[in-house]
Structure 1
Amino acid sequence: MPDPKYGAAHQALRREWKDRVDAGGVHCHHLPECLEPDTKIYPGSRWDLGHRDDDPTQYTGPEHPRCNRGTARIWKQKAEQADTYQWFT
């Protein structure tokens, strides 16, 4: 069962992207910071529906799980280095 925070709109958009991913030729939308050696998302591989880092209500498209799930860690590290920490409000 999907996580409840990813409701019907999220699931519908993910289904639309799944058709494109399954057809091939989709690249990770976490550019230019894609963390994988190959930016392509291959049919049958795992992927996340990514969102804009500055606005988590806006989706960007498929991303490698490592790229999508690493964003929070990267933002936190940058904020800690700058000695100011502000999460999305």
Structure 2
Amino acid sequence: MSEQFSVTGLNRIKRVPKRADYDKEGVYAVVDAALICHVGMVTDEGQPVVIPTIHARQGDNILIHGATTSRMLNYIGAGKPICITFT
């Protein structure tokens, strides 16, 4: 049996839940096949922002490309919530 991600209120699929897949191998396949990702966040000023960037996966971690001085990486480094989509 393969390993599953824990289902929480943050990642539970609500629309057509029978199509949900929490299997790590399946999720990792989607992440690994994606060419780019979009990182969504809400700035301290309340402005929603979505930034396209490239990524890589290293084990259970997602590595996000960006300048060390970028708003996005500073936001992530501060431990603020983000949303990532892979396309």
**After TM superposition, is the score higher than 0.5?**
no
What TM-score results when the alignment is normalised by the length of structure 1? Answer: 0.28
In terms of fraction of residues, the more strand-rich structure is: 2
In terms of fraction of residues, the more helix-rich structure is: 1
What TM-score results when the alignment is normalised by the length of structure 2? Answer: 0.28
